A = this chain, B = another copy of it.
Amino acid sequence: MAGQSRKLNVAMIGAGFMGRAHSNAFQQAGHFFDIPYELKLKVVCARKREAAEQFAAQWGWEGSQTDWRSVVAREDIDLVDICTPNHTHAAIAIAAAEAGKMVLCEKPLAMNYAEAQRMARAARNVPTVVWFNYRRVPAIALAKQLVDRGKIGQPYHYRATYLQSWGGDPKVADAWRFRQSEAGSGAMGDLLSHSLDLALLLNGPITELTSTLKTFIPKRAVDDAVLLLARFANDSVGTFEATRFATGCLNRNCFEIHGSNGAIRFNLEDLNRLEVFDGGDAMEIQGSHNVLVTGAEHPYARHFWPPGHILGYEHTFITTLADFLACLAEDREFHPNFDDAAEVQKLLDAVETSAKNRTWIDVSK
């Protein structure tokens, strides 16, 4: 943190699971990275006063408030971080952007593409971040490097599954994530959005898709599962599946790419590993390399611990924040930002339309 000269005053709206993950990132980024700003955790905002106060005490926020509008109106705030339920993202983000704040927002960015576009337009003059945090899992960042260096070659197949199993748990049946009015969708916005963001990062634009949705719980208004076939601009084909009814799978966010020179495979439940097949290996020892992505030569790893000492889920938020701050200091554009997330939202809209109309949808324009 030597040479740090600039303070950044942070406000966070929302104090649930994601509020904890983001608070941790704000606290930890400076421990592991030489970040170019001094982060001041000014205020956390949650609807219930007591909860907000307790959260602030636990996570080191200077104060707490219960009305996001007054937070966004504060002149001393530089950056507003949004981790509230999906239906509130737009109002908060637009207000924050119009007040000239930088805006960081949880995914899915919006309830639909039109809303996402409005948000992106409103924020076009401020730095933005959407917390598609998995882009910065070290193993996924390595995957991106390998793809970009041509180690996979011409892509043939992309295959993504995001498998969870809590959809049928009666204890959580009334969570906001199952309510249409607050979440917008089910597995689609929550899980498939991650898979699509990674696909766009690693395999480029999708040109057309067809999909189907499934809800297993009677009267539930959102999808429990979404299935997808897709064609990519790079001439590869893909399948996507996201579900909250994959019994036995807790957070199995997987993807595979097969190309002319090699292949990669990832599973978030083993997030420190990347399987890499290298078609250039001598024939007799060809087989997927089981790479423990913790080495000095791997993305992010040297900032944390020596080789072989694994990272966890929460580190993906730290690396995202550290990269954003570096971009900010160097006046480089950060990705994924609101425009990137709007592209995902466009695909989600197409998925919904396709499922309803039972047709392929052209998403190439």
Taking Cβ atoms with an 8 Å cutoff, the residues of A that contact B are 1-2, 17, 20-21, 23-24, 27-28, 30-31, 54, 57-60, 142, 145-146, 151, 156-157, 159, 161, 163-166, 168, 210-212, 214, 216, 225, 227-229, 231, 235, 237-239, 241, 243, 245-252, 258-263, 269-273, 275-279, 281, 283-292, 294-295, 297-298, 304-315, 358-360
Please tell me if the beta carbons of B212 and A269 are within 8 angstroms of each other in the complex: no
Copies, count = 4
Instruction: Tell me which residues across on chain B come within 8 A of A297, comparing CB atoms.
Output: 283-284
Among B60, B159, B235, B288, the residue within 8 A (CB) of A289 is B288
Please tell me if the beta carbons of B2 and A54 are within 8 angstroms of each other in the complex: yes
Please tell me if the beta carbons of A250 and B159 are within 8 angstroms of each other in the complex: no
The CA-CA distance from A271 to B308 in the complex, in Å, is 11
Name the distance in Å between A76's Cβ and chain B's nearest Cβ.
22
Please tell me if the beta carbons of A310 and B157 are within 8 angstroms of each other in the complex: no
The CA-CA distance from A40 to B146 in the complex, in Å, is 45
Among B214, B241, B291, B309, the residue within 8 A (CB) of A287 is B291
The CA-CA distance from A260 to B245 in the complex, in Å, is 8
Of the A-B pairs whose beta carbons lie under 8 Å apart in the complex, a sample of 21, sorted by A's number, is A2-B57, A24-B31, A156-B243, A157-B225, A157-B246, A164-B308, A212-B229, A228-B229, A239-B239, A247-B259, A247-B262, A247-B263, A249-B308, A250-B294, A269-B292, A276-B287, A284-B291, A288-B289, A289-B290, A304-B314, A312-B315
Name the distance in Å between A57's Cβ and chain B's nearest Cβ.
5
Chain B residue with the shortest CB-CB distance to A164: B308
Name the distance in Å between A86's Cβ and chain B's nearest Cβ.
18
Chain B residue with the shortest CB-CB distance to A250: B308
Instruction: Tell me which residues across on chain B come within 8 A of A23, comparing CB atoms.
Output: 31
Among B31, B271, B273, the residue within 8 A (CB) of A58 is B31
The CA-CA distance from A105 to B312 in the complex, in Å, is 25
Between A157, A166, A284, A315, the greatest number of chain B beta carbons within 10 A of the residue's beta carbon is seen for: A284
Chain B residue with the shortest CB-CB distance to A237: B214
Please tell me if the beta carbons of A145 and B225 are within 8 angstroms of each other in the complex: no
Instruction: Tell me which residues across on chain B come within 8 A of A281, comparing CB atoms.
Output: 278, 281, 289
Instruction: Tell me which residues across on chain B come within 8 A of A249, comparing CB atoms.
Output: 258, 263, 308
Chain B residue with the shortest CB-CB distance to A252: B308
Between A142, A168, A290, A295, the greatest number of chain B beta carbons within 10 A of the residue's beta carbon is seen for: A290
